[in-house]
Amino acid sequence: MGNFGGISIGTSKNSPMSSYTRMIYVGQHQRNLDSKSRLAIPSKWRFDGDSDDGYLALPDPAGCILVLPPQQAAKLYDKIEAQQLSDEDAQELQDKVFSQATFFSCDKQGRINLPEDLLLHSGIEKEAILVGRMVNFRIWSPERWANIDPKSNNEDLGKLMKRANW
């Protein structure tokens, strides 16, 4: 079992995935980009081997960057691999999304380098907000995050939980 996001979680010994450890991404973290557009990933969100194995970053339709850890990227890979080549909509979506995506790993200081097209897509310039989503995380510009931040907007999370069937 590993320790990710401050939470250690795994599956039972009888499970076919008994050696599988789930990474947990919770909370929000403000970070500044350095002059080379590098951004430090919170240490609690990093995993052993993240300088070799890495993350997949995609443009999110909400106007931010969606970051998938290896387990989530593997699930997406399997889904893409199963799609039919004759499915024109799926092929078009793959072209448009993955042409803007990037695969990255952390350097020794836990930083990642975000490409210019993803920074432009997300409106990120010098500062970013990393927002945990349990199984992955998003990287927002402070301005865009402020528009949906439940703390800033005094949002009733109970109503949202009901709409999402939590």
How far is Cα 77 from Cα 34, in angstroms, rounded to an integer? Answer: 31
Q: Tell whether 132 is covered by a domain.
A: yes
- How many C-beta atoms lie closer than 10 Å to residue 111's C-beta? 18
If we measure between CA atoms, which residue out of 132, 144, 145, 96 comes closest to residue 117? 96
128 close to 21: Cβ distance less than 8 angstroms: no
CATH, residue 109: 3.40.1550.20
In-domain check, residue 2: no
Distance CA 49, CA 154 (A): 39
Per residue in 118-159, pLDDT tens? 999 999 999 999 999 999 999 999 999 999 988 887 778 888
158: in domain = no
pLDDT at 90 over 90: yes
Residue 137 lies in a domain: yes
Tens digits of residue pLDDT in 9-56: 343 344 333 344 678 999 999 999 999 999 999 988 887 766 667 889
Distance CA 129, CA 67 (A): 13
Q: Is the pTM of this model over 0.85?
A: no
Domain around 49? 28-147
